[in-house]
Amino acid sequence: MAEQTTIGAALVVGGGISGMQAALDLADSGYYVYLVEKTGAIGGAMPQYNKVFPTNDCSMCIIAPKLVECGRHPNIRIMTLSTVLDVAGRAGNFTVRVREYPRYVDVTKCIACGQCSGSCPKSVDDSFNSNIAKRKAIYIKYPQAVPLKYQIDPQACLRLKNPDKCGVCAEICPPGAINFNDRERDHEIKIGAVVMALGFQTFDPSKAKVWGYGVYPNVITSLQFERYLSPNGPTDGLLTRPSDRKPVKRIAFLQCIGSRDKNRCNNEYCSAVCCMYAIKEAMTVKEANPELDVAIFYMDMRTPGKEFDRYFERAKNEYGVRFVRSRIHGVEPKGTKGDLRLHYISVQGKQVEETVDLVVLSVGLETPDSMVKLAEKIGIHMTPDRFASISAFMPVHTSKRGVFTCGAFNGPRDIPQSVIGGSAAAASVSALLAPARHTLTRTLPPPPELDVRRQTPRIGVFVCHCGTNIAGVVDVEEVAAYAATLPQVAHVARNLFTCAQDTQDLLVQEIRDKGLNRIVIAACTPRTHEPLFRKTLKSAGINEYLIEMANIRNQNAWVHNQQPEVATAKAKDLIRMAVAKVSSLTARKPLRIPIAPSVLVIGGGVAGMTAALNLAQQGFQIHLVEKTTQLGGNALHLFQTWNGEHVPRYLKGLKEEVQQHPLIEVAYTSTVLAVSGHVGNFVTTIRTGANRKRVIEHGAVIITTGAKRYIPEEFEYGKIPKVVASIEFDKLHMHNETRVANGKSFVFIQCVGSRNQERPYCSKSCCTHSIQSAIKLKKEAPSRQIYILYREIRTYGQRERIYNQARELGIVFINYEMHGPPRIKKADNGVLVEVWDHVLHRPLEIRADVVILAAATLASPEAGDLATLFKLPLNSDGFFQEAHVKLRPVEFNVDGVFVAGLAHYPKPLEESISQALAAAAKAGRLLARKEINLEPNIALVDPVLCDGCGLCIDVCPYQAITLVEYRDGEGNPLKTVHVDQVLCKGCGICQGACPKRGVDVAGFTYAQIEAQIDAALDQSCVLEEDA
Amino acid sequence: MSREAKIIAFCCNWCSYAAADLAGISRLQYPGSIRIIRVMCSGMVHPEMVIHALDKGADGVMIIGCHLGECHYIRGNEMALARAEVIADTLEDLGYESERFRIAWVSSAEPERLAEAFREMSARLASLRETDASPSGIGE
Say if the Cβ atoms of A1013 and B52 lie within 8 Å. Answer: yes
B15-62, pLDDT tens digit by residue? 999 999 989 988 899 999 999 999 999 999 999 999 999 999 999 999
Q: Average of pLDDT values for A658-682?
A: 95
How many Å lie between the alpha carbon of A413 and the closest alpha carbon of chain B?
Answer: 23
Residue A1023 has pLDDT above 50, yes or no: no
- Please report the pLDDT score of residue A453 as a whole number: 83
| CA of B74 vs chain A CAs: smallest distance (Å) | 7
Q: Verify whether the Cβ–Cβ distance A1004 to B76 is below 8 Å.
A: no
The domain locations on chain B are 7-133
CA A449 – CA A446 distance, rounded (Å) = 8
CB–CB of B70 and A1017 under 8 A? no
Question: Which whole-number Å values give the CA distances from A263 to A267, A755, A846, A933, in the listed order?
Answer: 9, 32, 33, 57
CA distance A588 to chain B (A): 17
Does the distance separating the beta carbons of A871 and B72 come in below 8 Å?
A: yes
> Residue range A331-360: average pLDDT?
94
pLDDT at A714: 94
From B21, B72, B79, residue closest to A525, measured CB to CB: B21
- Asked whether residue A806 carries a pLDDT value surpassing 80, the answer given is yes
Helix residue ranges, H only, A516-605: 526-539, 564-582
Give the chain A residue nearest B118 (alpha carbons): A559
Contact A994 B46 (CB under 8 A): yes
Contact at CB, A871 and B49, closer than 8 angstroms? no
Residue to mutate among A945, A1017, A1025, with most B CBs inside 10 A, is: A1017
Please give the pLDDT value at position A2. 43
Reported as a pLDDT band with limits 50, 70 and 90, residue A935 is confident
Q: Are strands A598-602 and A700-703 parallel, antiparallel or unpaired?
A: parallel
Phi/psi-derived region of residue A349, left when phi > 0, alpha when psi is between -120 and 50, beta in every other case: left
Cβ proximity of A427 and A193 under 8 Å: no
How far apart (Å, rounded) are the C-alpha atoms in residues A615 and A428? Answer: 9
Beta strands A151-152 and A82-90, pairing class: unpaired
Contact B32 A955 (CB under 8 A): no
DSSP conformation letters of A72-129? H-TTEEEE-SEEEEEEEEETTEEEEEEEEPP-SB-TTT-----HHHHH---EEE-TTT
CB-CB neighbors (< 8 A) of B78 in chain A = none
C-beta atoms of B44 and A525 within 8 A: no
With bands split at pLDDT 50, 70 and 90, how would you rate the model's confidence at A3?
very low
> Above 70 in pLDDT, residue A484?
yes
Mutation pick from B8, B34, B40 vs chain A, by most beta carbons of A within 10 Å, is B40
Q: Which residue of B28, B38, B70 to mutate against A (max A Cβ within 10 Å)? A: B38
- Helix axis angle for B16-25 and A526-539, nearest 10°, is 100
Say which amino acid occupies B64. Answer: I
Contact B32 A55 (CB under 8 A): no
Q: What is the DSSP secondary-structure string of A715-747?
A: TTTTTSTTEEEHHHHHHHHHTT-HHHHT--EEE
The DSSP letter of residue B87 is H
Q: Give the tens place of pLDDT for each residue, A143-176.
A: 889 999 999 999 999 999 999 999 999 999 999 9
pLDDT digits (tens, 9 = 90+) for A413-472: 999 999 999 999 999 999 999 999 999 999 888 889 988 888 999 999 999 999 888 999
Is there a contact between B44 and A992 if contact means CB atoms under 8 Å apart? yes
Query: Per the CB < 8 Å rule, is B44 touching A1001?
Result: yes
- Closest-CA distance, B100 to chain A, in angstroms, reads 15
Q: Please tell me which residue of chain B has the smallest CA distance to A984.
A: B73
Q: Choose, out of A574, A987, A990, A1020, the residue to mutate when testing the contact with B (most B CBs < 10 Å).
A: A987
pLDDT of residue A84: 97
Instruction: Tell me if A957 and B74 make a contact (CB, 8 A cut-off).
Output: yes
Predicted confidence at residue A1021, as pLDDT, reads 58
Q: Which residues contact A109 (CB under 8 A, 6 or more apart)?
A: A175, A176, A177
Does B140 have pLDDT greater than 60? no
Coil, helix or strand for A754?
coil
| Per-residue pLDDT tens digits for A983-998 | 898 999 999 999 999 9
CB contact under 8 A, B21 and A527: yes
**pLDDT for A393:** 97
User: What is the average pLDDT score of chain A?
Assistant: 94
Q: What is the mean pLDDT of residues A11-40?
A: 98
Mind listing the pLDDT tens digit for each residue in A229-287? 987 788 888 899 999 999 999 999 999 999 999 988 889 999 999 999 999 999 999 98
Residue A355 has pLDDT above 50, yes or no: yes
In terms of phi and psi (left: phi > 0; alpha: psi -120 to 50; beta: otherwise), the region of A829 is: left
Contact flag B58-A567 (C-beta cutoff 8 Å)? no
Q: Which residues pair with A202 in a beta bridge?
A: A365
Residues A865-887: what's their mean pLDDT? Answer: 93
Q: Which of B4, B70, B85 to mutate to test the interface with A (most CBs of A within 10 A)?
A: B4
Question: CA A628, A629, A633, A637 torsion: positive or negative?
Answer: negative
In A, which residues are within 8 Å of B4 by CB distance? 569, 1022
pLDDT digits (tens, 9 = 90+) for A836-847: 988 888 899 999
Taking the CA atoms of A837, A840, A846 and A851 in sequence, report the sign of the dihedral they define: negative
Cβ–Cβ < 8 Å for A671, A866: no
Q: Give helix A726-734 / helix A766-780 axis angle, nearest 10°.
A: 30
- Closest-CA distance, A824 to chain B, in angstroms, reads 39
Residues of B in contact with A474 (CB under 8 A): none
Closest Cα in chain B, distance from residue A284 (Å): 12
Domains and CATH numbers, chain A: 1-100+184-200+367-446 (3.50.50.60), 102-182 (3.30.70), 204-366 (3.50.50.60), 459-586 (3.40.50), 598-706+860-931 (3.50.50.60), 710-857 (3.50.50.60), 939-1001 (3.30.70.3270)
Lowest mean pLDDT among A405-409, A458-462, A928-932: A928-932
Would you state the pLDDT for residue A577? 98
How far off is chain B from A960, nearest CA to CA, in Å? 13
The b/e string for B75-85 (b: 16+ C-beta within 10 A; e otherwise) is bbbbbbbebbe
Interchain pair A937, B35: CB under 8 A: no
Nearest chain B Cα to A51, which residue?
B25
A56, A554, A868 member nearest B70 (Cβ): A868
Question: Which one-letter DSSP state was computed for residue B99?
Answer: G
Residue A454's CB: how many other CB atoms inside 10 A? 5
B49:A1010 CB<8 A: yes
Q: Tell me if A568 sits within 8 A of A474, measured CB to CB.
A: yes
pLDDT band at B135 (very low <50, low <70, confident <90, very high): low
Q: In percent, how much of chain A has pLDDT > 90?
A: 86
Residue A952 in 3-state DSSP?
Answer: helix
pLDDT digits (tens, 9 = 90+) for A178-204: 999 999 999 999 999 999 999 999 999
For the question of an ipTM over 0.90, the answer is: yes
Of A554, A874, A881, the CB nearest to B24: A554
Substitution target in B7, B39, B44 with the highest count of A β-carbons within 10 Å is B44
- Range in A113-117, A277-281, A565-569 the model is least confident about: A113-117
pLDDT of residue A1026: 39
Q: Do B32 and A1006 touch (CB under 8 A)?
A: no
Question: Can you give the pLDDT at residue A1024?
Answer: 43
Q: Chain A residues with CB inside 8 Å of B56's CB?
A: 1013-1014, 1017
> How would you write A631-688 as a 3-class SS string?
CEHHHHHCCECCCCCEHHHHHHHHHHHHHHCCCEEEECCCEEEEEEEECCEEEEEEEC
Q: pTM of the predicted model, to two decimals?
A: 0.90
Q: Determine how many CB atoms are found less than 10 A away from the CB of residue A505.
A: 18
Domain covering B7-133 in this structure, CATH number: 3.40.50
- What pLDDT is attached to residue B139? 40
Residues of B in Cβ contact (< 8 Å) with A570: 32, 35
DSSP string of A616-633, one letter each residue: HHTT-EEEEE-SSSSSBG
Q: How far is A872 from chain B (nearest CA, A)?
A: 9
